[in-house]
Amino acid sequence: MPEPIYLDHSATTPVRPEVLGAMLPFFGPRFGNPSSTHRWGREARVALDEARERLARALGATADEVCFTSGGTEADNLAVLGAWRALRDGRPAVVSTPIEHKAVLAAVERVEAEGGIARLVDVDAQARVDPAAFAAALGDDSALGSVMWVNNEVGVIQDIAALGAAAREHGALFHTDGVQALGKVAIDVRALPVDYLSVSGHKVGAPKGIGALFIRRGAPIMPLMHGGSQDRGRRPGTENVAMAVGFARAVELAVAEREAECARLEALRDHLEQALLARIPDAVVHGRGAPRAAHVLNISVPGTDSESMLMALDLQGVACSAGSACQSGSIDPSHVLSAMRVPHELAVASIRMSLGAMSTEAHVARVAELFPALIAKARRLSGLSTR
């Protein structure tokens, strides 16, 4: 089999060697607990504080505004539930959108289950959230608005400045899930009306199991867990020093390399997209009419199905994804595409290719040949099928 091609960077990325190198001492001699008073503890504490500071600087925040979490899901839950539970008495509502990651959608459902009000603002066919509609939905009873910055399935970028401003006008706080935005768009929380921002390590070359929530100084937060006083009581539990150090390193690298890397990925993505559209004229690229992150290409070809295509691609060594994988590993139809009112026939055919550090011109050239060939074959079969 030819060299495998990894086109699923939005799912996860390999740990960068620099990141692994930065972490290793903390699995060895510098193993201390940051809460301890002795020299091992001090060493760990200094490393943790430094990591927090470096991550904060990369986001435009101050160190006290960074709360390390176990990943994006915990950060999203902490933001939505932590803000709402702090403010629910006067402001029982939370406003979000149907294209959020499940980590936000499920937290919003939890708000409802706990007696709050949840409102989801429709998106247009390009997955864009209209700031005016968002403002209208906020009303004057909302504790929090939450809109994902870069969509994980189609890559569409929201106007976070306008949405955050709308929230502020209505006296609500604003959260954005920035997991897919990190390293892909410029992030400076000082310049944005954002009160909470979720980020995750493993999308940018840090390990799985580390993330962070930016919490603007003064923004209320009720902790999800209860225990010691770590992280100002916002997130009890002995801190994951090694991964915090690795995460900070990964984010510094991602931010420093962002412009050059995004230009490279955009050129590759656009080349792939044009090649596929030229060979498959009735293919549909989702979110193409909106500003999109450089690395995502979500494409549907009528008369095919995601599941069979993913298998056929994988057996040729090409790793892509579709929809959201459920617990068993099977593919469920994408809630993002249904919110965009993508016709069923196209929604069940969607394939997400997400480029990143491992992507090369040779990969793109090979997929540009292989994908249309597999599509042609799948269509021949579906023409024959009795279904």
Partner 1 sequence: MARVLVAMSGGVDSSVAAALLVEQGYDVVGATMKLTCHGDELPDRPCCSLDSVNDARRVCDQLGVPHYVLNLEQSFGRDVVDDFVREYARGRTPIPCVRCNTFTKFRDLVARADAIDAPLVATGHYARVIDGRLHRGADAKKDQSYFLWGLRRAVLDRLLLPVGGLSKPETRQRAESLGIGLVAGKAESQDICFVPDGDHVRVVAARLAPGDPALQPGPLLLSSGRQVGSHEGFARYTVGQRRGLPGGFPEPMFVVDIDPATRAIVIGPRHELMGRLIVAGEANWLADLPTPGTRVLAQIRHRGEATPATVIEVDGDRIELAFAEPASAITPGQSVVLYDGDQVLGGGVIDRVPASRRALPVAAA
Q: Which residues are catalytic?
A: 326
Looking only at residues 358 through 377 of this chain, which bind partner 1 when binding is defined by CB under 8 A? 377
Of the pair 19, 310, the CB lying nearest partner 1 is at 310
Q: Give how far the C-alpha of residue 38 lies from the chain's centroid of Cα atoms, to the nearest Å.
A: 38
What's the closest the beta carbon of residue 383 comes to partner 1, in angstroms?
12
Three-state SS at 296 = strand
Say which DSSP state 150 is in.
B
The span from the CA of 98 to the CA of 107, in Å, is 13
What is the chain's length? 387
Is residue 22 close enough to count as binding partner 1 by CB under 8 A? no
Integer Cα distance of 348 and 308 in angstroms: 11
Residue from 315, 343, 345, 362 binding partner 1 (CB under 8 A): 315
Q: Considering the complex, state which of residue 37 and residue 386 has its C-beta at the smaller distance from partner 1.
A: 386
| Interior angle at CA 382, CA 377 and CA 385, nearest 5 | 130
Q: Name which of 243 and 309 has its Cβ closer to partner 1.
A: 309
Q: Give the integer Cα–Cα distance in Å for 23 and 15.
A: 11
Query: Residue written as tokens 């249904």?
Result: 338
Among 331, 337, 357, 364, binds partner 1 (CB under 8 A): 331
Would you give the binding string for partner 1 spanning residues 176-215, x where CB under 8 A is met?
----------------------------------------
**Counting contacts by CB under 8 A, is residue 1 touching partner 1?**
no
Does 256 participate in binding partner 1 (rule CB under 8 A)? Answer: no
| Count of Cβ atoms closer than 10 Å to residue 167 Cβ | 26
Told to check if 327 binds partner 1 by CB under 8 A, we report yes
Q: Which two tokens stand for residue 363?
A: 């990969």
Residues contacting residue 203 through CB under 8 Å, at least 6 positions apart: 9, 10, 12, 13, 72, 179, 180, 182, 183
248 vs 228: CA distance, rounded Å? 23
Determine, following the binding rule CB under 8 A, whether residue 378 of this chain makes contact with partner 1: yes
Among 36, 126, 230, 308, indicate the residue that binds partner 1 (CB under 8 A).
308
**Per-residue x/- track, 102-121, partner 1 (CB under 8 A):** --------------------
Q: Which of 191, 311, 362, 373 binds partner 1 (CB under 8 A)?
A: 311
Provide the binding-site residues for partner 1, judged by CB under 8 A: 307-312, 314-315, 326-332, 377-378, 381, 385-387
